[in-house]
Amino acid sequence: MSKKLTQAAKGRGALGNPDNRFEQHRRDTVDDGWDNLEQTPDPIRTTLSVDSARTVISYNQSPDVPFDRSINPYRGCEHGCVYCFARPTHAWLGLSPGLDFESRLFYKPDAAELLRKELHKKNYRCAPVALGINTDAYQPVERKTGLTRQLLDVLLEYRHPVTIVTKSALIERDLDLLGEMAADDLVQVAVSVTTLERSLSTRLEPRAAAPERRLQTVARLAGAGIPTSVLVAPLIPVLTDSELETILAAAREAGAGGAGYVLLRLPHELQELFRDWLAEHEPLKAEHIMKRIRDCRGGQEYQAEFGKRMSGEGVFAELIKKRYHLAMKRLAFPGLPELNTDSFRHPAKTKPQLSLF
């Protein structure tokens, strides 16, 4: 059975559907003389299925991220970013991290109700929650489901702080809720920008907003008084790292109060997916890019250790870090205000107590 397309499917990032790491057998493309491997692949349609989750808040103990809990209303992401570190999570569903990840999506229709129940628990301790970390909470299907807006409604009602990372202009739909939350220091938004080259962005992240549109979103969020930063993520050695200073400068000009970066991560099946993408779209740079990735990852293509997986190690990684800090100092980003946890309305504690007599 063919698992790899001979050319990229229009509007899709991955070139095929490689078997996930839990499969007992692996299937590869073989030309047996009967199939026409040069034919144009059929359009790949997006499907949306129910994710019957019992909880909506996930907790972590990672020292590499500034939050200990997150909410992901969706599994899979139609943006189709070939570099997405969350692709391997589709293996847990028995699906491929390739085209399945960007076309076979799952959503939690009762996410807002589950969130309300979890915030009602007597032992719940308020701390900022990250919304849409594994997959974008404002991906195209959000226009249909409205799950993210429902979650924001609940968080606003309880005065609960939230951080959001997105590469979608759809977040502007919720400027009313975000503005109200920002007035009480309850929200921070980070807009992800990988490259400012539109042609490259179209191939890397085919269904995400164009780079200039994301900068426009930064300006509109900042103009509405919402604390906004830009995340240069992922920063891809050789392919996009030369744009680091340019992206930071554009972010500052758009009104971003802060900025950060994350070095490309290639866990599990993502290594094969990214190598295939390079061979198709950047064949002349492919070997150089992979060599620099290994230089930043202790000779490997992926590094899972805490403290290293986000920024890497070695001479090249240190050079990127120095460039980032110098640019941040020169551009004088003002920073974002701290999120407010004191305003949290815990229903179990605010409910009036009845008299004993």
Domain regions of the chain by residue span = 47-333
pLDDT band at 44 (very low <50, low <70, confident <90, very high): confident
Nearest-angstrom CA–CA distance, 207 and 13:
9
pLDDT at 20: 77
* Tens-place pLDDT, residues 77-119: 999 999 999 999 999 899 999 999 999 999 999 999 999 999 9
pLDDT at 35: 56
pTM: 0.89
* Tens-place pLDDT, residues 110-123: 999 999 999 999 99
* Tens-place pLDDT, residues 206-227: 999 999 999 999 999 999 999 9
pLDDT for 351 beyond 70: no
Mean pLDDT of 5-19: 77
pLDDT for 1 beyond 90: no
Residue 132: what are its φ and ψ, rounded to 5°?
A: 75, 55
Q: Which residue has the higher pLDDT, 321 or 306?
A: 321
Q: Is 185 left (phi over 0), alpha (psi -120 to 50) or beta?
A: left
Residue 203: its H or E element? helix 198-204
pLDDT for 342 beyond 70: yes
Give me the CATH code for the 47-333 domain, please: 3.80.30.30
Of the candidates 120, 109, 132, the one whose C-alpha atom is nearest the C-alpha of residue 52 is 109
Mean pLDDT of 316-341: 97
